[in-house]
Amino acid sequence: MAKGIYEIKNIDDYKNRLTEYQKKILIRHCNRYEIKPVIIAWYDDWEDFCSDWCEQIGYTRTEARKRLNSGNGEFCKFSNGEIVRLSM
């Protein structure tokens, strides 16, 4: 899809947790990275993220942080600490 075409109505929020502000942030993120706004995982904070990626998958905390900050848009971090993973 072309850059900048996603709108709030396109968001697939399987937990129905997004605030209106988070929806705006997510759409801006998705349009920037040209990623469909389909949330496949939701983390309450960094520790919750690590419990999944380190304890369950086997990444070190350093590897998990690199994955989180990879720059490909797979994850969107919100100012309250919550993190969502998007379908790539």
pLDDT in the model for residue 63: 96
Q: Does residue 6 sit within a domain?
A: no
Confidence tier at 3 by pLDDT (50, 70, 90): low
In a domain, 5, yes or no: no
For residue 72, give Cα distances in angstroms to 7, 18, 19: 20, 22, 24
| Radius of gyration, alpha carbons of the chain | 13
Give me the mean pLDDT over the 30-40 stretch.
94
Domain ranges, residue 42: 18-86
The count of domains in the chain is 1
Q: Is residue 10 part of a domain?
A: no
